Structure 1
Amino acid sequence: MVTPDWIAVDWGTTRLRVWAMAGADVLDSRSSDKGMGALGPDQFEPALLDLIGDWIAGRPPVIACGMVGARGGWAEAEYRATPCAALDPARAIRPKAADPRLDVHILPGLSQLDPPDVMRGEETQIAGFLAGQPDFDGTLCLPGTHCKWVRISGGMVEGFHTFMTGEIYALLTRHSVLRLTVGDARPDAAAFLKAAAQALANPDLSPAGMFPLRAGALLAGLPAQDAAGRLSGLLVGAELAAARPLWLDRRTIIIGAPDLAAFYHQALTQAGADAHVMDGAALVLSGLTAARAAIA
């Protein structure tokens, strides 16, 4: 029988992850594919209870971050305007729950007006990072479906920019003519790095270099993994070119899933950046732990 002091929840668009916690120690963890995108308004509570129902006899507080607080989620949490601290747990919302054992706190996201931008979930990773490196001054890169580039100074989030690189790659490989060439192939690392360097040097090459992937497959038998690597490199290289002011001559920490973070790290290092990688999953839990301490 697991009896947690509190429960940590990372609720994204596609995945729901939970941890039974005793202070900062993990007692147990579970996950499901019941992300926000798959749920209607009345399905969030049952989805959560499916995972934590046997943990909540003592009504431990549940600290949640991510898309659960989006418009269309369980309950809409506010966006806090930057510049600001990564988290303000006092401004978490508490959605209504039919089960009296549930005591849920949903953390707010972050926003900026110029240019307009928002984030949900990444701010908790940022807080987890800053809990361990409070004096950091530089840039955080959080790759994913929507990659966030975040300026950090004085323990504050100064501002950020979102690039839809991951979503564009998914759209091209699933719904464009490139689906016939790339499909679900795993990107080749060497092809990725070559294309990333070319696109970083000449961002106009990114759109111009895409259809030749299809032609190369038809005319010269271009392997799918090479095409995938080149397409990914063209897109990431163009992103790095646009984000150059954020990483050039600034210490940059890449926070994300190991495979994707490695590709960004290789491309940035190849370009001469001072770039380092940290595991995103661990930092989410660190951020939720910091939030729990503030709420307690």
Structure 2
Amino acid sequence: MTDWLAVDWGTSHLRVWVMSRTGTVKARRASDAGMGSLSRDGFEPALLDLAGDLLGTGKTPVIVCGMAGSRQGWAEAKYVATPCAPPGIDRATHVPTNDPRLAVHILPGVKQTSPADVMRGEETQIAGFLSLNQKFDGVICLPGTHTKWAHISAGEIVSFRTFMTGELFAVLSQQSVLRHTVAGDGWDAEAFTDAVSTGMSNPAELAARLFSIRAEGLLNDLHADQARARLSGLLIGAELTAARPYWLGQHVALIGDDKLCKAYADALGAQGLPVERTDADRMTLEGLKAAYSALKETTQ
């Protein structure tokens, strides 16, 4: 029997954990029915298609994080302004459903007015991390398409900044003049480390350094693995320079894809900064579990 559903609804994916009241994962399901492919009236059918057979006859709480709460999503869950604790069930948006078995709660994102910034989904991962590390004081970095750096103190998100480093890498490696030079998925750790150092020491030269990757491929037969690692290193190096006020002298925890987190850990390690790496899926689930625990308290 399903006691509740934990749902991570991103732009391109839908992930559902089938949960017991004690927090045990009974099953996990996923589909490509992300927010970006759905109209507003398509969310409930997409959820039922994936997990409807697991519902009982009574109401099943469904705790949702991510892009389902965006303006283009299932129902807008308005942002909570910093400084704030990662918003929980008390700030969630309750969504009316056609199926009486569903009791859907969408967690809100977090906003910052100056400089203007937003996050949606990452705050739940931060909540999960803080539920396991209640005395943490430092910085959480969440590498991804849009990498977040969040300053955490006394259980609150004090401030954060977003860098489009992952999206820039995708565009440059797939759609720019560099796409042939960096083709493949290989990697050269030494080239990456050197490029991070170059990107940090000369961020103003980023655009020129990027084109030199193409030129070296044409003139000096630069290997695709080296080229790909250099592209990543230059972009991450420029990001680290801009994000220095966040990470310098801080305790940094990384939440994200394992391969990407390793790149950030290597880049920060080269600056003499030890980091803590975590499992992104677990942090998401722990954040959703914390929200469910709060919901249980309000209904008992």
TM-score range, shorter chain: over 0.9
1:53 is matched with which residue?
52
Q: For the residues of structure 2 that align with 1:279 and 1:183, how far apart are their CA atoms?
A: 28
Q: For the residues of structure 2 that align with 1:125 and 1:185, how far apart are their CA atoms?
A: 28
Is the aligned partner of 1:12 residue 2:10? Answer: yes
Q: For the residues of structure 2 that align with 1:59 and 1:31, how far apart are their CA atoms?
A: 22
2:274 is matched with which residue?
274
Aligned partner letter, 1:180: H
Cα separation, partners in 2 of 1:186 and 1:40, compared to 1, 3 Å: farther
Describe the superposition over 1:261-280 as per-residue Cα deviations: whole angstroms up to 9, x where unpaired: 00000100111113121111
Describe the superposition over 1:143-191 as per-residue Cα deviations: whole angstroms up to 9, x where unpaired: 0000000000011110100000001111111221111222343343222
Q: What aligned pairs does 1:48-87 form with structure 2 within 5 A after superposition?
A: 48-57=47-56, 58-87=58-87
Aligned partner letter, 1:46: P
Cα separation, partners in 2 of 1:184 and 1:68, compared to 1, 3 Å: farther
Cα separation, partners in 2 of 1:153 and 1:24, compared to 1, 3 Å: same
Q: For the residues of structure 2 that align with 1:236 and 1:14, how far apart are their CA atoms?
A: 24
2:248 is matched with which residue?
248
What stretches of structure 1 of length at least 5 have no aligned partner? none
Structure 1 runs (4+) greater than 2 angstroms displaced: 183-190
Asked if the contact 1:19/1:26 (under 8 Å) is kept, the reply is: yes
Q: For the residues of structure 2 that align with 1:190 and 1:11, how far apart are their CA atoms?
A: 37
Aligned partner letter, 2:25: V
Task: Give, in angstroms, the shift of residue 128 of structure 1.
Answer: 0.4
Which secondary structure does the structure 2 equivalent of 1:19 belong to? strand
What stretches of structure 2 of length at least 5 have no aligned partner? none
Q: For the residues of structure 2 that align with 1:171 and 1:188, how far apart are their CA atoms?
A: 20
Q: TM-score, length-normalised on structure 1? A: 0.96
Q: For the residues of structure 1 that align with 2:187 and 2:36, how far apart are their CA atoms?
A: 26
Cα separation, partners in 2 of 1:184 and 1:79, compared to 1, 3 Å: farther
Task: Give, in angstroms, the shift of residue 44 of structure 1.
Answer: 1.1
Q: For the residues of structure 1 that align with 2:180 and 2:238, how far apart are their CA atoms?
A: 23
Aligned partner letter, 1:212: S
Q: How many residues get paired?
A: 294
Asked if the contact 1:125/1:287 (under 8 Å) is kept, the reply is: yes
Task: Give, in angstroms, the shift of residue 101 of structure 1.
Answer: 1.5
Q: For the residues of structure 2 that align with 1:223 and 1:48, how far apart are their CA atoms?
A: 45
1:25 is matched with which residue?
24
